[in-house]
Amino acid sequence: MPRPKLYDDDLRGRLIATAADQVAAGGLDGLSLRRVAEEAGTSTNAVYTVFGGKDGLVGAMASEAQTSFVAAQLEAVAGRDPLDDLLALGLAYRRWAVEHASLYAVMFGGRVPPPEDCAEDGLAPLLGVVQRVADAGRLVGEDVHAAALAIWAATHGCVALELALWPDQPEELSARDFERQLAALTRAWILA
């Protein structure tokens, strides 16, 4: 007879979210398994059972951040006009960062070593859309990879500044400012 399941996916998710909040606030040095367990409403035994310890929890956080981010990016690409998909990717990037601020800090804040394929997986949806822009003859320049990196860097910079410097700015102002940035970015890289 199989052993009963003691810890479910909901608990796993709570432990990752709680740990991500701690890491976002205080880096890896601020991560306490005892506090994670307490805040998630369980015991430290659960952390060890589910993740094998601190290293396993940190790895699961990094993996969850990457998986969630890439899923949001892939969901934004609808296969419509590449310019529309490019704008949708930028908006999805910001939305994910705002809605998952702790995972964003884990993924992009240098607080946790990223999974090996993080940069490739994270860039792939954008790279695909920029390639479609180039295939349509609308990309400024010929280097698709360089254009994708520049677009990602500018988008990331805007989001990072918003979260770090203006986290309490009203949403309508933040969204408006970000959309203006996307429009300027589009004018810089896309031929009319």
CATH 1.10.357.10, domain 9-189, yes or no: yes
Choice among 51-65, 85-99, 119-133, 160-174 with the minimum mean pLDDT: 160-174
Comparing 36 with 123, the larger pLDDT belongs to 36
Average of pLDDT values for 170-191? 88
Q: What are 100-110's pLDDT values in tens digits?
A: 999 998 888 77
Query: Can you tell me the distance from the alpha carbon of 85 to that of 100, in angstroms, rounded to the nearest whole number?
Result: 22
The reported pLDDT for the residue numbered 117 is 64
Distance of CA 78 to the CA centre of its chain: 19
* Residue pair 41/48 in contact by the 8 Å Cβ criterion: no
Asked if pLDDT for residue 113 goes beyond 90, the answer is: no
Confidence check: pLDDT of 191 > 50: yes
Which pLDDT band, with edges at 50, 70 and 90, does 2 fall under?
low
Least confident of 31-40, 163-172, 182-191: 163-172
Residues 122 and 135: their CA atoms lie apart, in Å, by 21
pLDDT(3) > 50 = no
Domain boundaries, the chain: 9-189
How far apart are alpha carbons 119 and 161 in whole angstroms?
20
**Cβ neighbour number for residue 21 with a 10 Å cutoff:** 19
Entry pTM: 0.86
| Matching residue, tokens 């009319």 | 192
CA distances from 91 to 32, 121, 128, 165, 180 (A): 34, 18, 17, 19, 11
8 Å CB contact between 185 and 154:
yes
Beta carbons of 137 and 191 less than 8 angstroms apart: yes
Residue 7 has pLDDT above 90, yes or no: no
Q: Summarize the confidence of residues 81-90 as an average pLDDT.
A: 92
Sequence-ordered alpha helix ranges (H) in the chain: 9-26, 33-39, 44-51, 54-76, 82-99, 101-108, 118-135, 144-165, 171-189
Alpha-carbon separation of residue 71 from 19, 68, 76, 151, 167 (angstroms) = 21, 5, 9, 19, 24
pLDDT of 5 above 60: no
